[in-house]
Structure formats: structure tokens, C-alpha cells
Amino acid sequence: MKNLRDYLALIALLSLGLGIFWLFDYNRHLQVYVVVGLGVAHFLWGMIHHGLKKQLHWEIVAEYLFISLIGSLALIFLLFRA
């Protein structure tokens, strides 16, 4: 696989974020910060990944931005559900 290192870095990043998320299971507000941090990290990873491949276009930026926002907002809403 050509981009194995990039995807392993993404898996490591998301796994670390998941571990930190579980570590703070007693505090919903800290979990929100972790979720927002993961959303930002996913967005930045996408920009770096596509930038290194010289395939960074505004459509890709918009896609990563919206996917990160939707994912983060969904998790935040689930955290504070009644």
C-alpha cells in the first residue's frame, strides 16, 4: 500500500484520541474538548496528506471540513443527550 504510513498515523491519532476520550469518561466537558481536538486533528491530517500528494483542492478542504464538523457535532450531541 502506497500511503500506509499516512494511514497508520491516522489510526494512531484516532486511537490516542479514543483512549483519552475514555480516560475522561467522568467529565463530559473534557470529552467535548477531546472530540473537538479529534475533529481538528482529522481535518489537519487530511490537509497534510493531500498536500504532500499535491492533490489539495478546495473541494477536498471542504470535504474534510464538513466531515470533521459533522462527526464532531454528532458526538457532542450524543454526549449531552437526555
Predicted confidence (pLDDT) per residue in 12-70, tens digit: 999 999 999 999 999 999 999 999 999 999 999 999 999 999 999 999 999 999 999 99
* Residue 80 pLDDT greater than 70, yes or no: yes
What is residue 12's predicted lDDT score, i.e. its pLDDT? 96
What is the domain partition of the chain in residue ranges?
A: 4-79
pTM reported for the whole predicted model: 0.90
CA dist., res. 66 & res. 72, Å (int): 10
What is residue 81's predicted lDDT score, i.e. its pLDDT? 87
Could you tell me what percentage of the chain is helix, strand and coil, using 3-state DSSP and rounding each to the nearest 5?
80, 0, 20
What is residue 10's predicted lDDT score, i.e. its pLDDT? 93
Read off φ and ψ for residue 50, nearest 5 degrees: -75, -30
Q: What is the mean pLDDT of residues 3-19?
A: 93
